[in-house]
Amino acid sequence: MKKRTLSRKEKIARNLLLALCFGFVVWASQGGPMPTAELTFRQMERTRFLARSEIMCTWETPLSVGELGTSSARAVLVGRYTDQIAVGCLFQLNNPFGNRLTLWPREEEITPVPLSALLQGEDGTLFHVLLFLEVPEEAAGAQATITGRIENAKEPVETIQGERWADGVWAFWFPIDSALTTDGDLKYGTKDLEGLPYTLELYRTDGGPLTEQEGTLPENFQPGVIYDPGLYDVLNDILLNQ
């Protein structure tokens, strides 16, 4: 029997199918990278069998890849559930490998959340960053005070002015700087900011006090997950997303 020769259109269709299959294998082997930071965050949620949270804010560094150190997250996404907060610290915006997703208890009033990753300032300084969520909209200014972050600090009490990331979300950047110590050797009395006593003070537009909240910063009740999917996880994620 004479072997049938594929037509030009059939060859094009075959080659296109092979290219798509090869592209899928490459994409899956890289962990199924997403085109945006938000989709990467959603992928991390699904892999942990979490429902879709309400995203409260997305922060991305203004620094380029060449300017940013490897120890600093490139983006932070905060999602809200009924009784907890999900925080994604993304070291690669479009690739889930090595990113962190942590869960924190959501409080009835203003919720403090210490980030599980460092952030880098434009001058190269690294920071521990503390978030306060569901801050009243009337707040025009805010400052946070913590105690005991550095064992050998010149001033054990640190007060930082906050910056507004989004509606109800304020961030406080505490520098990691040996100049803050008595001998130039940083010694931490705790893991990052967790478990430290804090005071949050909010101010109105005219500078008058709005409210004040004191407490102890929470310790992460679910360990940070380093998201490192294999091919099975990627295929499972695709099926869950159908």
The pLDDT of residue 96: 57
Residue 4 has pLDDT above 80, yes or no: no
User: Does a structural domain hold residue 83?
Assistant: yes
CA 39/CA 11 separation, integer angstroms: 35
The phi-psi region of residue 49 (left if phi > 0; otherwise alpha if psi is between -120 and 50; otherwise beta) is: left
Mean pLDDT of 185-204: 82
Exposed/middle/buried for residue 49 (C-beta within 10 Å: 0-12, 13-18, 19+): exposed
197 lies in some domain: yes
**Residues 211-227, mean pLDDT to the nearest whole number:** 73
pLDDT higher at 37 or 167: 167
- What pLDDT score was predicted for residue 211? 95
One-letter amino acid for residue 139 of the chain: A
- Are 79 and 86 in contact by the 8 Å Cβ rule? The answer is yes
For the stretch 5-41, pLDDT in tens is: 767 766 566 667 665 555 444 444 444 445 578 888 9
**pLDDT band at 95, cuts 50/70/90?**
low
Q: pTM for the complete prediction?
A: 0.76
Q: How many domains does the chain have?
A: 1
Q: What is the pLDDT of residue 11?
A: 59
pLDDT confidence tier of residue 240, bands split at 50, 70 and 90: very low
State the Cα–Cα distance between residues 166 and 137, nearest whole angstrom.
10
- What's the rounded Cα separation, in Å, for the pair 222 and 96? 19
- Which segment of 66-80, 88-102, 225-239 scores lowest on mean pLDDT? 225-239
CA 80 to chain centre: 13
Distance CA 131, CA 109 (A): 14
What is the rounded CA–CA span in Å between residue 48 and residue 236? 11
Q: What is the pLDDT of residue 20?
A: 58
User: What does the pLDDT read at residue 22?
Assistant: 52
pLDDT beyond 90 at 44 = no
Residues 234, 166: Cα–Cα separation, whole Å: 32
**Does 67 have pLDDT greater than 90?**
no
Q: Is residue 142 part of a domain?
A: yes
The three-state secondary structure class of 8 is: helix
Nearest C-alpha neighbor of 185 from the set 156, 154, 159: 154
Task: Report residue 11 as tokens.
Answer: 């060859």
At position 223, the amino acid (one-letter code) is P
Asked if residue 70 belongs to a domain, the reply is: yes
The reply to whether 228 falls in a domain is: yes
Residue 224 has pLDDT above 50, yes or no: no
pLDDT at 27: 43
Structure tokens at 58: 């997305």
Residue 212 predicted with pLDDT over 80: yes
Q: Is residue 157 part of a domain?
A: yes
State mean pLDDT over 86-94: 84
The band of 116, judged by pLDDT with boundaries at 50, 70 and 90, is: confident
Q: Which domain holds residue 176?
A: 34-240
Token pair 């979490």 is at which residue? 50
CA 61/CA 78 separation, integer angstroms? 15
User: Does residue 23 form part of some domain?
Assistant: no
Which residues, other chains included, contact 89 with Cβ-Cβ below 8 Å and sequence gap of 6+? 73, 75, 76, 99, 100, 101, 102, 115, 116, 117
